[in-house]
Amino acid sequence: MKQNVLTRYRVMAYVTAVWLLVFTAAIIAKYGFGTGDTMLISQIHGVLFIVYVVFAFDLGSKAKWPFGKLLWVLAAGCIPFASFFVEPKVSREARALVTDSAPVTAEA
């Protein structure tokens, strides 16, 4: 597995987690205090979550995760603050599978 697969997952895990928190705050503001609109925030989070699912599935398939673990990682993207705890653990495990595929140079 290449490093960029893990990097893409990590970036999207954090970006999606932050937008989920923004979306959660907007929902609380809208329904708790009767202020604000959540349409734009929900659409942005929805698109980011789809990208996160694709990258998490890509990482999971290359890391050969069992289906249950993949579901757990995907569910962490749906629970506020969960990604901040799950992502470091997943990254530590996946970092061991990263191969350094540097080009081999021939010496004369």
CA distance 108 to 51: 46
Mean pLDDT per 10-residue interval, the chain, length 108 residues: 89 94 94 90 94 94 91 89 91 83 54
Largest CA distance in the chain: 73
The DSSP secondary structure of 24-72, one letter per residue, reads HHHHHHHHHHS----HHHHHHHHHHHHHHHHHHHHHHHHHT--HHHHHH
Distance (Å, whole) CA 86 – CA 77: 9
Predicted pLDDT at 103: 53
- Predicted TM-score (pTM) of the model is 0.83
pLDDT at residue 23 in the model: 94
What is the pLDDT at residue 46?
93
pLDDT at position 77 = 85
**8 A C-beta contact, residue 20 and residue 80:** yes
Which pLDDT score is estimated for 1?
72
